[in-house]
Amino acid sequence: MTLNLTGQLRVISQTMAEQARDYAEQAPDDDDKYNRDLGTYWQDLQKQTALYERIVNSLKS
C-alpha cells in the first residue's frame, strides 16, 4: 500500500510540474484567457493538491 501511495505522489508531482511548465510557457496575455485558465488549470491544480494532501495524510496515519 505504501509503494502504491508513494507512486501516486510521484505521478501527481510530475503532472503538476509539467502543467506549471506548460502554463509558464503559454501564460495568458489577456483577461479572457486568464479567466479561461481559472476554469480549467486552476480547478485541476486544486484537485491534484487535495489528492496529494489526502495521500500524505493517509501515509501519516
List, for residues 3-59, the tens digit of each pLDDT value: 999 999 999 999 999 988 988 888 888 888 888 888 888 889 999 999 999 999 999
CB atoms < 10 A from the CB of 9, how many? Answer: 15
Amino acid (one-letter) located at 1: M
Q: Which of 57, 56, 59 is CA-nearest to residue 12?
A: 56
Q: In angstroms, rounded to a whole number, what is the distance separating the alpha carbons of residues 19 and 24?
A: 8
pLDDT value at position 11? Answer: 96
What residues contact 44, with CB distance under 8 A and at least 6 apart? 19
